[in-house]
Amino acid sequence: IELESDLRKAVQRQELELYYQPQFQTGSYSMIGIEALVRWRHPTKGLLSPGVFIPIAEETGLIYEIGTWTLHEACRQMKEWHLAGGPLIPVSVNLSSRQFHQSNLVAYIREILQETGLEPQYLELEITESMMMDAAVSAEILRELDEFGVKISLDDFGTGYSSLSYLKQFPIHKLKIDRSFISDITRNASDQAIVATIISMAKHLNMEVIAEGIETKGQLDFLTENSCQEIQGYYFSRPLPAQEVEAAFFTPY
């Protein structure tokens, strides 16, 4: 309850911050994208993870305000980086279920892109498989976003409720292999089979595929050998404040 009333004021008081985690191509190690991850700098409790406050935001409806701020800030920052000579890569933003099903989602994303000047192809929205359960609704939303030029990634892929038939019906651009399949991949034959199969399926469906949660050289080697094109994880970088991303990864900047 206390956290909820604090969260109501968090946006106005500018307590939300975005951290950014770079994504890389296997082989070349060139940066191919960056995921925006929201944090709450609580006045007394310190830096809070979205795992703590996004569920409260979803329950209370505060997600609309927080989600709008997050999308706007991610697009604004990416456009600023583009203008300053940073890499011409897209920014990924996580959507929660209520945001995805918001009736004016496409209109307000259009508005945010117009305000910030970011071109639609540089925005990637991360949704989970479970959000597509109502197939008729999600098909319509995804079709509109696709027509507009925004990219869609399926986050935590392999862990949700989904039907493979969605993958052929819907305009999904990228599968993000959940990190639970990666953590033990050098030892676990089932994880190896699942990951190799997802990579191969994505390729055959003309989708991109990225593996999340890479923490070790062994995991990276497995993914490289199995032709996974893109990777994200602590092995390369933790999520960082914008200025630290610039300092560590944009050279010269």
Per-residue x/- mask for Mn ion, residues 114 to 153, rule CB under 5 A?
Answer: ------------x---------------------------
Distance CA 143, CA 237 (A): 33
The C-alpha atoms of residue 100 and residue 134 are separated, in whole angstroms, by 12
Site string for ligand G, 150-169 (x = CB under 6 A): -----xx-------------
Measured from the CB atom, the residue of 73 and 212 that comes closer to Na ion is: 212
Q: What span, in angstroms and rounded, lies between the C-alpha atoms of 163 and 155?
A: 15
Q: Beta 16-25 vs 31-42: how paired, if at all?
A: antiparallel
DSSP letter string, 116-143: H---GGGEEEEEEGGGG-SHHHHHHHHH
Write out the binding residues for ligand G, residues 22-51 only, by CB under 6 A: 37-38, 49-51
Between 38 and 106, name the residue whose CB sits nearer to Mn ion: 38
Q: By CB under 5 A, is residue 156 in contact with Na ion?
A: yes
Task: Rule CB under 6 A: say whether 86 interacts with ligand G.
Answer: no
Instruction: Report d(CA 156, CA 171) in Å as an integer.
Output: 17
What, of ligand G, Na ion, Mn ion, none, does residue 116 touch, CB below 5 to 8 Å by kind? Answer: none
| Residues near 214 by beta carbon (within 8 Å), at least 6 away in sequence | 182, 220, 223, 231, 232, 233, 234, 235, 236
The answer to the question of residue 102 lying near ligand G (CB under 6 A) is: no
Say whether residue 155 binds Mn ion (CB under 5 A): yes
Which residues of the chain form contacts with ligand G (CB under 6 A)? 21, 37-38, 49-51, 54, 70, 94-96, 155-156, 179, 212-215, 233-234, 239
